[in-house]
Copies of this chain bind each other. A is one copy, B any other.
């Protein structure tokens, strides 16, 4: 493990273009803007609040199907607004980017939802429009309904999804890194030459899943390849992450992070074997802060949230992530009886690293619910984050209970303390998102994408 005690903690807000993202049941409150998710204004307000708080990025989750295995159907998800409806996150970016200057925008796109030629152009366009503030959260989908929406006859098997993702990344790297040379664009008004054809290349990719001729339709953008996020906690997901990811979203317990072969240590080791530096990859732990001006105020707030929390919504959510119907009698089965076919990586990881394989799904679910909130006065939250940092975590994806309230409470209360301690930035450094985080706007030569450069 590579502890990073002197480094700043990175902060992302975790949200989704939908009614109920993670803390289900709370959309009914008057102090949250979740019901306005279809409009532009709440997103602009959120981006501006986060930028005032010097956050690194707004991280937008997404799904391309409904969670439909709890009680054998999507009914609970629909009633709860649980990630359905779910609007396209990419469409929010240009409006938020125009209203801000520094904050990054990371959004989720599955390798099944968009052809890589189309997706690569979408990302390049946004990287230009945001002046280099765009990031991609690479996912391979885990909902079987997503597979049925794309004519796949259900969801392909876990490892096959990652194989396709590997080729998808190869195509996009060729387009982003290899198609237009740095000095291809002349924009020479005197001679009337916009670009030099000798410096723009077809990619002529011929693969198992894709044939793509190119050239890329976008000229080089500030970052070329967007900053790459991933959440790969399964075995295959970890090796994929070690190869591709720059930022990794994890949902681990402290015990899991301290054990041997923990996700951070494992992925950094694998990355080293691929010629990358340990610091080329940063880990973001998911955290749900409940901040009060005093501990008791925070506890009272938490009690309200727990009171309003929808266990039905959580069961529908968890059933989708587990790939099983948690109502259909499996709830009290031991963890090791599980078919990992539809299982999300973090669940696989939780199970793999669990000391007791005879724990049940019900145990796991309860542990997850009980551990979801990080509640306290600002100083307590700051201390807790510092402890996570000492376990090797580089940053946090903050889950809201109410939006933007959970974020502004954190920014008003916790961020100034972390800034005073020198643990989070007090102002943005210049340049594109990757430069703000890694000191360089483009991927280094240690990253696999560099192989595709001309």
Contacts and interface: CB of A to CB of B under 8 A. Distances in A.
Interface of A: 17, 19-20, 25, 27-28, 35, 38-40, 44, 63-66, 73-75, 78-81, 84-88, 90-99, 113-115, 117-118, 121-122, 124-126, 128-129, 145, 148-151, 153, 187, 189-190, 192-197, 200, 210-215, 217-219, 221, 310
Nearest to A151: B211
Copies of this chain in its oligomeric complex: 2
A189 B283 CA distance: 37
Contact of A192 (B17, B25, B113, B190): B25
A95 B129 contact: yes
A142 B266 CA distance: 49
A74 B145 CA distance: 41
Nearest to A91: B125
Contacts of A81: 194-195
B94 A91 contact: yes
Nearest to A17: B125
A189 B35 CA distance: 10
A66 B215 contact: yes
Contact of A195 (B63, B78, B96): B78
Contacts of A210: 151
Nearest to A312: B192
A114 B121 contact: no
Nearest to A20: B194
Nearest to A221: B38
Contacts of A94: 40, 91-96
A219 B151 CA distance: 22
A195 B44 CA distance: 26
Nearest to A203: B149
A35 B185 CA distance: 11
Count chain B CB atoms within 10 A of each CB in A40, A75, A92, A210 and give the residue with the most: A40
8 closest residue pairs by CB, A with B: A81-B194, A148-B213, A38-B128, A94-B95, A151-B211, A75-B197, A87-B125, A28-B189
